[in-house]
């Protein structure tokens, strides 16, 4: 089986879904991770009926046992994992003293621990293979802050720091780590459904899918460390 094997977290909606369909069109065998089983099963069928190859897994990215089971099954079925797109993420926005401890833990667990757990699970296999590509979908607020964004910004700064340090650890082992920092993207991340007129000029999920494709299709001798993109209407 020569298709690249690519795991995508948060594949059921928004950016992850666009990345999954894009990479499936580029001949990747895509492994789709999200909690909502119905949505990822539907996406698996959609990709398969368009001639692609997909397998869906209902997992909570912050649950180590569930994440490890996916990676173990992928290794049993395919014998390797070529790319991992750490995309699953959530945001809660309010004044710092209004967050509950549970909200703090939930955002950190998905955005930071999730990236750690999935990377931890695939790294031994990538190290053994002497190659692999780990991509993080972070945020432009991995590098700036805003009021009522204390928790989300803290999680995205941490996620960014994790991948930056990881890149230094694994580059000599043939493993690439790239981080993408999007500005505003019209997805379910924001209040209400995508497609509302006031968000028409935001980035679209397919713009981030294009960026992921660019990053992972870089020639063997090139690693794209970072890629930041914004809609023209967003000041940075
Ligand atoms: O969000 P959305 P985006 N375990 O809500 C999944 C970053 N970003 O596509 O589990 C596993 O449409 C969820 O599936 P489900 C952002 O921080 C965005 O915009 O079934 N999966 C769904 O598939 C995030 O890292 C913007 O609910 C979990 C997906 O995550 C990434 O982009 C700007 C999960 C979320 O889809 C994708 O977000 C920016 C869990 N515990 C960065 N919890 C933006 N949209 O403007 C959630 O700078 N998911």
Distance CA 127, CA 176 (A): 11
CA atoms of 196 and 144, how far apart (whole Å): 26
Distance in Å, CA 206 to ligand 1 centroid: 14
The β-bridge partners of 8 are 32, 85
Nearest residue (CA) to ligand 1, atom 48: 139
Q: What atom of ligand 1 comes closest to residue 13's alpha carbon?
A: 23
Q: Which of 65, 83, 80, 64 is nearest to 11 (CA)?
A: 83
Residues with CB under 6 A from ligand 1: 9-16, 33-36, 39, 60-62, 87-90, 110, 137, 139-140, 182-185, 187-189
152 belongs to the catalytic site: yes
pLDDT at 28: 98
Six token digits for residue 223: 């690693």
Residue by residue, pLDDT tens for the chain (236 residues) are: 689 999 999 999 999 999 999 999 999 999 999 999 999 999 999 999 999 999 999 999 999 999 999 999 999 999 999 999 999 999 999 999 999 999 999 999 999 999 999 999 999 999 999 999 999 999 999 999 999 999 999 999 999 999 999 999 999 999 999 999 999 999 999 999 999 999 999 999 999 999 999 999 999 999 999 999 999 999 88
pLDDT score, position 2: 84
Rounded distance between C-alpha atoms, residue 31 and residue 229, angstroms: 26
Listed in sequence order, the DSSP H helices in 60-149 are 64-78, 101-108, 114-129
Return the half-sphere exposure (C-beta side, CA atoms, 13 A cut-off) of residue 168: 5
Which residue has its alpha carbon closest to ligand 1 atom 29?
10
Q: How far is Cα 228 from Cα 179, in angstroms, rounded to an integer?
A: 8
Domain regions of the chain by residue span: 5-229
For residues 106 and 63, what is the distance between their CA atoms, to the nearest angstrom?
A: 12
Burial 201-224 (b: 16+ CB within 10 A, else e): ebbbbebbbbbbbebbeeeeeeeb
Tell me the CA–centroid distance for residue 40 and ligand 1, in Å: 13
* pTM score: 0.98
Q: Considering 152, 157, 181, 202, which one is annotated as catalytic?
A: 152
**Ligand 1 atom with the shortest distance to the CA of 194:** 12
- The DSSP bridge pattern shows strands 226-229 and 53-58 to be unpaired
CATH number, domain 5-229, options 3.40.50.720, 1.10.240.10, 1.50.10.10, 3.90.280.10: 3.40.50.720
The protein residue with its alpha carbon nearest to ligand 1, atom 6, reads 10
Atom 17, ligand 1: residue with shortest CA distance = 89
Which pLDDT belongs to residue 236?
84
């Amino acid at each position: 089986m020569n298709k690249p094997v690519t795991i995508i977290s948060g594949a059921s909606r928004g950016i992850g879904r666009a990345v999954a369909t894009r990479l499936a069109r580029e001949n990747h065998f895509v492994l789709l991770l999200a909690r909502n089983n119905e949505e990822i099963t539907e996406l698996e069928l959609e990709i398969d009926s368009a001639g692609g190859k997909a397998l869906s897994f209902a997992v909570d990215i912050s649950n180590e046992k569930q994440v490890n089971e996916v990676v173990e099954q992928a290794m049993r079925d395919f014998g390797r994992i070529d790319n991992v797109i750490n995309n699953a993420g959530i945001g809660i926005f309010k004044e710092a003293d209004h967050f509950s401890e549970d909200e703090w833990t939930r955002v950190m667990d998905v955005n930071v621990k999730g990236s750690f757990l999935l990377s931890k699970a695939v790294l031994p296999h990538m190290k053994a293979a002497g190659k692999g590509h780990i991509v993080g979908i972070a945020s432009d607020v991995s590098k700036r802050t805003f009021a009522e964004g204390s928790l989300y910004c803290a999680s995205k700064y941490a996620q960014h720091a994790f991948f930056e340090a990881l890149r230094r650890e694994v580059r000599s082992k043939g493993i690439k780590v790239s981080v993408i920092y999007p500005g505003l993207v019209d997805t379910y991340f924001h209040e209400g459904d995508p497609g509302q007129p006031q968000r028409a000029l935001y980035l679209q999920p397919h713009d981030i899918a294009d960026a992921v494709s660019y990053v992972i299709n870089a020639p063997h001798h090139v690693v794209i460390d970072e890629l930041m993109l914004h809609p023209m209407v967003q000041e940075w």
